[in-house]
Amino acid sequence: MLSSKLTGRRLWIAALVVPPLAFMCLFLVYPILSAFAYAFYEWRGLVRGDFVWFANFHRVLFEYPFSERTLNAFTHNIVVFFALMILQNGVGFLLAYCLWRELWGARFHRIAVFLPVVLSTVIVGLLWKLFLHPLFGAVNVSLRAVGLGTLAQPWLGQDSTALMAIIVANAWHMVGFPTLVFLAGMQRIPSEILDAARMETESEWVKMTKIVWPLVAPSATVVFTLLFVGAFNWFEMPFVMGGIDGSPHGATDVLGLYFYRTAFGSMSASAENFGPGSALAVLIFLFIAVVSSVITLKLRKREIQL
């Protein structure tokens, strides 16, 4: 009797746990493990060939033309990371600090800053592409209207500004996320600490840098790590605004686009090339995993337990 009840319980638990586990294994874990294996094989189209050790890795890292494109894309990812660190996370921190005062209308401003976050990257990218059109876009039209016509330029059409334009569009899209994560962190600071700080100093700057910033360290850890992962996975925004080739002249090429082009081909490049594509994916994956773990561990040390 007891044992039959126990088996029944075991069956019941299995019935609950196995189907979700199966989905995870089949469509998440198995593909990721396979990705590692695939990088060590030669590929002819969609057919797997011989085991070639590190040949694919050697190609994407050291052989022309792969190596140059890899380096070009990687450099752009680094630029994207640091630029968004300032434009997205830095601005987000300042906005959170402003919202935290709960002044009149703060609720409205909070909803407004998060509105673009819920929109699809495709909508945001296409919208800014129209705004940045050299002749008819709202940006250049307004510059001309206020007499700054000399500043009007083909933002997305020239090497010097294209990447930055896409970065700014990305910052507009996502700044609400770090803002509200930082705000939640600030709201958790105990009021006794703030009262004590108010007794000590009148300077908002001192309060911000010496009290608030260290105490929102847990939020900063999360937001920095997510930005790092996002910056090195960056794909949709440059795809929509700069195109699959990272135009103009590869000025907006990043690892995500380069990986996609190598793996699945593009209009200008040839067809699928799964070997080097898989090698790139593994390298990006390892780079993100190692560096984001280091960032998380380093930043965690800074966090203060209250």
Site for other proteins in 216-275 (CB under 8 A): 218-219, 222-223, 226, 229, 233, 235-236, 239-240, 256, 259, 263-264, 274
Q: What is the DSSP string of 87-101?
A: IIIIHHHHHHHHHHT
Asked if 156 and 213 count as a contact pair (C-beta separation under 8 A), the reply is no
Q: Which residues are CB-contacts of 152 (< 8 A; sequence separation ≥ 6)?
A: 134, 139, 140, 143, 144
Contacting range for other proteins; rule: CB under 8 A; set: 59-67, 74-82, 177-185, 189-197: 177-185
Q: Does 290 interact with other proteins (rule: CB under 8 A)?
A: no
Q: How far is CA 161 from the centre of its chain?
A: 20
Phi, psi (rounded to 5 degrees) for 175: -60, -25
Q: Which of 98, 143, 194, 299 binds other proteins (CB under 8 A)?
A: 98
Phi, psi (rounded to 5 degrees) for 161: -115, -15
Site for other proteins in 178-197 (CB under 8 A): 180-181, 184-185
Q: What angle do CA 228, 168, 66 make, to 5 degrees?
A: 55
Asked if 170 and 241 count as a contact pair (C-beta separation under 8 A), the reply is no
Per-residue binder mask for other proteins (CB under 8 A), 115-134, x = binder: xxxxxxxxx--xxx-xx---
Contacting range for other proteins; rule: CB under 8 A; set: 21-29, 60-68, 72-80, 82-90: 21-29
Residue number with CB closer to other proteins (38 or 57): 38
Q: Does 79 interact with other proteins (rule: CB under 8 A)?
A: no
Residue number with CB closer to other proteins (106 or 160): 106
Q: Which residues are CB-contacts of 274 (< 8 A; sequence separation ≥ 6)?
A: 38, 43, 46, 263
- Least gap, CB of 34 to other proteins (angstroms): 4
Site for other proteins in 46-65 (CB under 8 A): 46
Asked if 56 and 39 count as a contact pair (C-beta separation under 8 A), the reply is yes
- Least gap, CB of 121 to other proteins (angstroms): 6
Residue number with CB closer to other proteins (5 or 64): 5
Site for other proteins in 195-214 (CB under 8 A): 202, 204
Q: With CA atoms as reference, report the closest residue to 52 among 38, 62, 63.
A: 38
Asked if 140 and 147 count as a contact pair (C-beta separation under 8 A), the reply is no
Q: Which residues of 88-102 are buried (b: 16+ CB within 10 A; e: fewer)?
A: bbebbbebbbebbee
How many beta carbons lie within 10 A of that of residue 76, not counting itself? 25
Residue number with CB closer to other proteins (56 or 83): 56
Residue number with CB closer to other proteins (159 or 269): 269
Q: Which of 58, 109, 207, 210 binds other proteins (CB under 8 A)?
A: 109
Residue number with CB closer to other proteins (76 or 224): 224
Residue number with CB closer to other proteins (47 or 191): 47
Residue number with CB closer to other proteins (76 or 129): 129
Per-residue binder mask for other proteins (CB under 8 A), 1-20, x = binder: --------xx-xx--xx-xx
- Least gap, CB of 78 to other proteins (angstroms): 18
- Residue located via tokens 């979700």: 20
